[in-house]
């Protein structure tokens, strides 16, 4: 069995490759050719966190595996990452374990990459100002992914605290140094959102992180942070007026507080949520219809993302002689 580190995964799967993999994975999922049961969430109330167990199979990519991820917000006070994860890949013909790898960076990579795919399919081609709300582990890859698919000239990162913004700048300098010159930071979300062509939200907030009135016509929003019914990053008013695309309808309506809150309040019906990203990839659903439309992509995360990236990582690792062999026998 092969073991891959964070740095191995980063080198083996560049962002543009990860974005292409997301399009394939969700096209397969929407077409019913991939298996991805709803994740199992085990609450960790004493640390205000959750442990998530996420299996999937994508036959088209010869990918079968499971990710285990923990989200512990109080880790910020411990000077530890909020998210830790590990991915195990299994041979889908023999059941033999193939690889184990760092899932923390992989999670950030694939979450950024799906926003890149959604931005490529839904945002205006001339989008030049990106606002990224949430300067945690996901922030850097959200920025890198959107910049990979649109001619972004200005990146404004937003967080409630300056220390998080400093850590984001350091992460960008380490992993995406070519983007640092475009990066600005602020704690003023309203002023930033009023300038945005694309907004990415990657927080665990339980209340909306911007006001709907601050969105300009034609803005595209990627909402990837809130993954439980209790969390809500996006104002209900934005959900109501936006053309909404989700990663997977059943999962989104079971887990995404951004969509569940307006549903429960009777502000919107389930028929507002009928478009999956894979449908847009395949051409069975439309993308943006005009330059003034507000488009919203809501993702709660799906294990198909993790295992297709993991499969690409192990295939490239074998070609390049990267990783550590572990004998479990």
Q: Say if CB 141 and CB 120 are below 8 A apart.
A: no
Q: In which element (H, E) is residue 169 found?
A: helix 162-175
CA neighbor of 159 nearest in space, from 179, 176, 126, 184: 184
Q: Are residues 127 and 225 in the same domain?
A: yes
- Per DSSP, the chain holds a count of helices (H) and strands (E) of 11, 14
- Regarding whether 263 and 117 lie in a shared domain, the answer is yes
Are residues 135 and 92 both part of a single domain? no
Quick one: 160 and 99 in the same domain?
no
Structure token digits, residue 252 = 């989104």
Distance CA 58, CA 266 (A): 36
Decide if pLDDT at 79 tops 90: no
Helices (H), 88-136: 104-122
Closest CA to 240 of 219, 217, 261: 261
Q: What is the mean pLDDT of residues 64-82?
A: 91
- Clarify whether residues 18 and 99 are in a common domain: yes
Q: pLDDT tens digits, residue range 4-36?
A: 999 999 999 999 999 999 999 999 999 999 999
Q: In the prediction, which pLDDT does 137 show?
A: 81
Q: What six digits make up the tokens of 77?
A: 């006070």
| Predicted pLDDT of residue 329 | 79
96 and 196 part of one domain: no
Quote the CA–CA distance of 135 and 152 in Å, as a whole number: 18
Residue 25 is encoded by which pair of tokens?
A: 């994975």
Domain residue limits at 48? 2-106+304-325
Looking up residue 249, the CATH number of its domain turns out to be 3.40.50.720
Cα–Cα distance for residue pair 111/140, rounded to 1 Å: 11
pLDDT of residue 65: 98
Q: Quick check: helix, strand or coil at residue 189? A: helix
pTM, to two decimals:
0.93
The pLDDT of residue 166 is above 90: yes
Q: Are residues 89 and 46 in the same domain?
A: yes
Claim to verify: residue 165 and residue 246 sit in the same structural domain = yes
* Alpha-carbon span 127 to 210, nearest angstrom: 19
pLDDT in tens, 200-251: 999 989 999 999 999 999 999 999 998 889 999 999 999 999 999 999 999 9
Same domain, 75 and 117: no
Asked if 279 and 174 sit in the same domain, the reply is yes
Q: List the CATH number of the domain containing 34.
A: 3.30.1780.10
Question: Do 79 and 214 lie in a common domain?
Answer: no
Separation of alpha carbons 162 and 171, rounded Å = 14
Residues 163 and 265 occupy one common structural domain: yes
Tens of pLDDT along 86-131?
Answer: 999 999 999 999 999 999 999 999 999 999 999 999 999 999 999 9
| Number of independent structural domains in the chain | 2
Closest by alpha carbon to 248, among 33, 38, 20?
38
The residues facing 25 across adjacent strands are: none
């Amino acid at each position: 069995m092969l073991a891959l580190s964070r740095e191995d995964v980063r080198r083996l799967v560049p962002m543009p490759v990860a974005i292409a993999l997301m399009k394939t994975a969700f096209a397969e999922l929407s077409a019913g050719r991939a298996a991805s049961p709803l994740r199992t969430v085990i609450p960790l109330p004493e640390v205000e966190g959750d442990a998530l167990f996420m299996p999937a199979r994508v036959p088209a990519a010869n990918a079968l595996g499971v990710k285990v991820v923990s989200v512990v917000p109080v880790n910020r006070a411990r000077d530890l990452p909020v998210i830790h994860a590990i991915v195990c890949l299994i041979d889908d013909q023999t059941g033999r374990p193939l690889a184990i790898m760092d899932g923390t960076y992989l999670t950030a990579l694939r979450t950024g990459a799906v926003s890149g795919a959604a931005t490529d399919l839904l945002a205006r081609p001339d989008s030049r100002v990106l606002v990224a709300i949430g300067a945690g582990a996901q922030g850097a890859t959200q920025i890198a992914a959107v910049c990979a698919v649109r001619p972004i000239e200005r990146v404004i990162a937003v967080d409630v605290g300056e220390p998080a913004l400093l850590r984001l700048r350091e992460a960008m300098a380490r992993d995406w140094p070519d983007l640092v010159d475009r990066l600005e930071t602020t704690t003023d979300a309203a002023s930033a959102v009023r300038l945005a062509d694309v907004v990415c939200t990657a927080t665990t907030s339980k209340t909306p992180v911007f006001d709907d009135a601050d969105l300009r016509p034609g803005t595209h929003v990627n909402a990837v942070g809130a993954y439980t019914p209790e969390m809500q990053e996006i104002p209900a008013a934005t959900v109501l007026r936006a053309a909404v695309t989700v990663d997977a309808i059943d999962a989104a309506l079971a887990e995404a507080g951004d969509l569940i809150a307006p549903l429960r309040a009777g502000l919107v019906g389930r028929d507002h949520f009928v478009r999956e990203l894979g449908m847009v990839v395949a051409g069975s659903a439309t993308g943006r219809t005009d330059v003034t439309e507000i488009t919203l992509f809501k993702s709660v995360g799906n294990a198909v993302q993790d295992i297709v990236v993991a499969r690409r990582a192990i295939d490239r690792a074998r070609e390049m002689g990267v990783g550590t062999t572990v004998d479990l026998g």
